[in-house]
Amino acid sequence: MVENYRITARFDGSADDNLKAAGFSRSMITRLRKELGLIRVVSDTCPSGQAVFATAKVRKGDILKISLPVSPVAYPASNISPEFAYIDDDIAVVVKPSGIATVPIKSHYKDSYASVLASAWGEFVYRPVGRLDKDTSGLLIVARSSLAASRMHDMQNNGAIGKQYTALVQGIIPESGEIDAPLALSQDGHHREVSENGKPAKTLFRRIGIINENSLAEFTLLSGRTHQIRVHSAYIGHPVCGDALYNPRAKEFPRLMLHCSRLCFAHPFTGDNVTVESPFPPTY
């Protein structure tokens, strides 16, 4: 399988510098350097493209024809069908159920979300952008090409993907507020904890309802630390309901009551604003 792209050189310089400017990752460019013919310069006299190496000089406005070999994987197909909240040729936003791992690590190779997508897509290259904890449900971006993945990962690393979560938390949380507390890995190597030696972490919250003396709240991350909402909400005395790691009363609920409910980002190719929402009505 080969992915094909046409890139217009933005400036005089090397082909690989122009590819970096177009959003190709370092690993993608390294792969393109290994074989002559994967990068071609298209012209009126050579419409099929003249093969060049990545280090070749190109001029602003040159059209680069890129052929990137990829290897689809035959993940074990799940009996669960994927739920798409948004999909086009470049990206998909799916609604991941609670209890399914985002990535096919060794302990979840046969039951990750890759297998859910395999039930619809067959053999494919799985490119999730970020991840949700196994027991967290909600919106997850999956890139459908190498270049889309590269651009979306850059956006995520630069904080250009807005995420909002909805959670049912124990007790009556204040109407709104900000939690500014650094997070670190605890000594057991599994939990996270608030620590002055941790990495900066900020979370905004807003109460949107009260259900059976618990609060339904929206959380917005101003940083992206592992378990951030779960640790921060427990830190202020309102742990997420059903949280087996941070809530002693977790067994009162059938699942972790945390859901990624809203994503906002610029489309990696068109630049159009994309907003995707998935409501989370807690039932128990």
Which one of 16, 17, 62, 133 is the catalytic residue?
133
Would residue 147 count as lying in a domain?
yes
Do residue 51 and residue 25 come from a single domain?
Answer: yes
CATH number of the domain enclosing 30: 3.10.290
Asked whether residue 270 is domain-assigned, the answer is no
The pLDDT of 92-103, averaged and rounded, is 95
Amino acid sitting at position 194: V
182 within domain boundaries: yes
In a domain, 213, yes or no: yes
Determine, yes or no, domain membership for 255.
yes
Kindly state whether residue 135 falls inside one of the protein's structural domains.
yes
- pLDDT at residue 71, rounded to an integer: 92
In a domain, 21, yes or no: yes
Active-site residue flag, 133: yes
* Structure tokens given for 225: 């630390």
- Containing domain of residue 18, as a range? 2-69
**pLDDT computed for residue 284 by the predictor:** 47
Instruction: Please give the Cα distance from 149 to 143 (Å, whole number).
Output: 5
**7/64 Cα distance (integer angstroms):** 5
pLDDT > 50? residue 54: yes
The closest of 242, 274, 239 to 256, measured between CA atoms, is: 242
At residue 112, does pLDDT exceed 90? yes
**How many structural domains is the chain composed of?**
3
pTM of the prediction? 0.92
Q: Establish how many alpha carbons lie within 13 A of residue 98's alpha carbon, considering only the half-sphere containing its beta carbon.
A: 15
Pick the last residue of a domain from 160, 189, 221. 160
Burial class (CB in 10 A: 0-12, 13-18, 19+), 188: exposed
75 falls within a domain: no
pLDDT tens for residues 203-259? 999 999 999 999 999 999 988 889 999 999 999 999 999 999 999 999 999 999 999
